[in-house]
Amino acid sequence: MTRIRLLTAAVLVVGVVAGPSALPAAASAPAAASSASSAVSAQSPNPALEAAIAGLPSADATAALVRVGGKEGVWRGSSGVHDLRSNRPADPAARFRAGSVTKVFTAAVALQLAEEDLLDLDRSARSYLPELIPAAYKDVTVRQLLNHTHGIPAPDFPATTVEEAYANRFQIHDPRDMIRSATSKPPEFAPGERQHYLNIGYTIAGLLIERVTGDSYEDQVALRVLKPLGLCDTYFPGKNPRIIGPHNRGYQRMRLDDGTVGLRDVTVWGVTDGWAAGDIISTTEDLERFTQALFKGRVVRGPLLEEMFTLPKVTDSKSGKPAAYAVGLSMKMLGGREVWGKTGGRWGYNTAIAATRNGSRTLVYSVNATDAKGQDMNKVAENLMVAAYGMP
């Protein structure tokens, strides 16, 4: 059996903290395992949510931050540690890498531009970026970029394992180079025929936003979404591999220098490979505000909002199952009802925003997962989804 160890002298279990997002005064010192306590919400206790994040740090995650909102009830919770050296309680107001939740922001801006007739969802991406999109992809439309039915393969990256990715974590990736790498290959399928979830469509979408506005992608998201909603703790890191402001450390299970398998601190990691598809940094409070505004029609207005809740009538290119991704959002049946949202994973961090279509229950979480980009969903994250909405 492979030996798993933590890069710290000791790991102390910190109890769940729930209710308002401020730490209680007594939480300033590391908590011992014997002092772990159950979560008690200021609005109403929720044993299922409390249990979902209890017992951290664990093999699956070192911290979890959770916000549940909507007319079905409000709940706030945090668990785990800020870092594995000090074992200080996790900061519930911490910033974190939200990964592919970025796509929802990108999609929202693209749909706003469509509403303003600056971007045509039925027009080809090549007609906007003829110098970048080759003739082999001349029929790919803007909508197909956004709902993952474009058939463009992923670009090549210099890493195939987490260890190789870690060694290349400071490499700078240019979006144009990534698009050239992807479009130099044959299409995976004819546009609009199947669905394959990849980042590349949103990388192209970021450049489309820049082309039709004459402005940077980051400034357009700030102008159209971040500033109007007051998302003061959400930002794009660009080439800076560090998280600015308060944040909990992220750890990833991998092979270490001595040949054993353990947890390595991966908090400092460049994310230029994600860009408009996955580089945003945020907080649970900001993402909750964004989710609630989005589902109320305050971000994308009118008929174009339905693009985010309309699944293409195709099948997944790998599983053969019905398409699960619309423009920006994805859908999963939980507890007998449709739950729409988006998950995101960067090394050391898992994030999700989710809501019922009418916004009656929203969920936002950040889990400092030790398997953040694994094939299977992180167990803590999965338990949170089930606790909030019910079994699939």
Mean pLDDT of 320-341: 97
Nearest of 180, 112, 125 to residue 328 by alpha carbon:
112
Across all residues in the chain, what is the average pLDDT?
Answer: 90
Compute CA distances 9 → 81, 84, 182, 269, whole Å.
Answer: 14, 9, 44, 24
pLDDT on residue 374 = 82
Tokens standing for 109?
Answer: 């801006």
What's the pLDDT band for 376 if we cut at 50, 70, 90?
confident
- Residue 356 pLDDT exceeds 50: yes
pLDDT on residue 144 = 98
Domains defined for the chain, CATH in brackets? 96-324+371-389 (3.40.710.10)
- Pairing between strand 96-99 and 280-282? antiparallel
- Residue 366 pLDDT exceeds 80: yes
Helices (H) and strands (E) in the chain, counts: 11, 14
More confident position, 158 or 265? 265
Nearest of 109, 187, 151, 148 to residue 312 by alpha carbon:
148
Mean pLDDT of 28-42: 32
Tell me the pLDDT tens digit for each residue of 197-242.
999 999 999 999 999 999 999 999 999 999 999 999 999 999 999 9
Q: Of the ranges 1-15, 37-51, 297-311, which one carries the lowest mean pLDDT score?
A: 1-15
- Residue 41 pLDDT exceeds 80: no
Mean pLDDT of 352-359: 96
Q: What is the DSSP string of 330-349?
A: EEEEETTEEEEEEEEEETTE
- Pairing between strand 17-18 and 75-80? antiparallel
pLDDT on residue 44 = 64
Query: Are 350 and 381 within 8 A, CB to CB?
Result: yes
Q: Give percent above pLDDT 70 in the chain.
A: 89
Q: 3-state DSSP: the chain helix, strand, coil percent, rounded to 5?
A: 30, 20, 50
3-state DSSP of 132-167: CCCHHHCCCEHHHHHCCCCCCCCCCCCCCCHHHHHH
- Residue 25 pLDDT exceeds 50: no
pLDDT on residue 5 = 35
Identify residue 119 by its one-letter amino acid code. L
pLDDT on residue 65 = 98
- Residue 14 pLDDT exceeds 60: no
Work out the burial of residue 163: count CB atoms within 10 Å of its CB; fewer than 13 is exposed, 13-18 middle, 19 or more buried: middle
pLDDT on residue 147 = 98
Q: Of the ranges 32-41, 71-80, 214-223, which one carries the lowest mean pLDDT score?
A: 32-41
- Pairing between strand 261-265 and 4-5? parallel
- Residue 85 pLDDT exceeds 50: yes
DSSP 119: S
Residues 115, 117, 122, 123: is their CA dihedral positive or negative?
A: negative
Tell me the pLDDT tens digit for each residue of 157-170.
988 899 999 999 99
190-204 CB burial, b ≥16 within 10 A, e <16: ebbebbbbbbbbbbb
DSSP 226: I
Q: Give percent above pLDDT 90 in the chain.
A: 85
> What dihedral angle (degrees, nearest 10) is formed by the CA atoms of 205, 275, 90, 255?
120
- Residue 391 pLDDT exceeds 80: yes
